[in-house]
Amino acid sequence: MALSHARSGDLVNINDVADALASNGSATLLRDDHIEIFRLALNAGTTMQEHSAVGAMTVQCLSGEVEFSCHGRTQTLRPGSLIYLNDAAPHALHSQQESILLVTLILHRK
């Protein structure tokens, strides 16, 4: 079943993760001209090799523990921590345990 994106004024439950970890993937919660917010579910041991996104971004840890590498260092994201990356900053990650991240992208769409 496809997830519908939130519209202006819609209430979104970011903790609705019943099937998220089973799929080890992402669900886009909101998408508009200049912002995209998605929830990323990672099983323990999942690695995402270095990549970058078009636009600035924040990554907030909702649950679990993730080693997050950017700007030449690795930091541990735990529940309640948030990291900001400027436009197109390369980054990589490795989940130490089942984890849920909330990612916000600020886009340059016209």
What pLDDT does residue 5 have? 76
Give the number of other Cβ atoms within 10 Å of residue 76's Cβ.
11
Between 79 and 54, name the one with better pLDDT.
79
What pLDDT does residue 9 have? 80
Q: Mean pLDDT throughout 100-106? A: 95
Q: Which amino acid would we find at residue 46?
A: T
Q: Mean pLDDT throughout 62-82? A: 97
Burial 43-73 (b: 16+ CB within 10 A, else e): eeebeeeeeebebbbebbbbbbbbebebeee
What pLDDT does residue 6 have? 79
Name residues whose C-beta falls within 8 Å of residue 110's C-beta, 6 or more positions apart in sequence. Answer: none
What pLDDT does residue 13 have? 77
Q: Mean pLDDT throughout 27-47? A: 91
Distance of CA 110 to the CA centre of its chain: 23
Give me the chain's average pLDDT, please: 87
